[in-house]
Amino acid sequence: MNDQSLENALLHLAGVSTEVMLRTIVAEDVTPEYVSWMNDEEVTRYTEIVHEKQRHEEVLDFVETKFKSKNEVLFGIFIKSLHIGNIKLGPVNWRHKTSEISFIIGNKAYWGKGYAASAIGIVASYAFDDLGLAKITAGVLTPNVGSARALEKSGFSIEGVRKQQYELGGKRVDSLIFGRLAS
């Protein structure tokens, strides 16, 4: 993308298996179910939002802020027309051609089925092939085995460990730093 902006990001990205489809999240996607994910402690336990109750207004503000951003894009992860989670690319550092990703599968019926890994792969292809990025990183708390596995299945590898970086359930836990380079 030569204008170094994500504001015109593709609205639809499809995976190799057409089962997983990503599209930019818009205000109409902020449903009661989506908001309920953000308040489900099991869904958000490895995120910072676990510490705050999320109301419709906060989730909507987050979605609208990402939609207007020039260096971040928030995609919904869809199976057919069912919104099961989100994946965010950004912020993008255009000078160094790097970015971070974060993701969540909010619909627990879809946990452990490879949908996060598919979404990560789709976003990585978009970042490398369409945006010309050189590297993507992601951070995962060590107890979050599912997210670590999804990143590894998508070609990411552990680049570092931040010892006792976060408090989780009254205990200090490490954070793993994953990275993937463009092929």
| Domains detected in the chain | 12-133 (3.40.630.30)
Place of tokens 């999804």: 150
Q: Tell me the two tokens of residue 72.
A: 């971040």
Place of tokens 């680049």: 159
- The span from the CA of 73 to the CA of 91, in Å, is 8
- The span from the CA of 89 to the CA of 98, in Å, is 10
Residue 3 pLDDT: 47
| Residue at 117: amino acid letter | A
- Do residues 67 and 74 lie in contact, with contact meaning Cβ atoms separated by under 8 Å? yes
Residue 1 pLDDT: 42
Residue 183 pLDDT: 82
- Sequence-ordered alpha helix ranges (H) in the chain: 32-38, 41-44, 56-68, 115-125, 145-153
* Mean pLDDT in consecutive groups of 10 residues from the start of the chain, 183 residues: 46 56 94 96 90 92 93 94 96 97 97 95 95 97 96 97 94 97 92
Length of the chain: 183
- The span from the CA of 127 to the CA of 54, in Å, is 29
Residue 48 pLDDT: 86
What are φ and ψ of residue 167, in 5° steps? Answer: -100, 130
CA-to-CA dists, residue 42 to 39, 106, 108, 135, 157, angstroms: 9, 9, 9, 30, 26
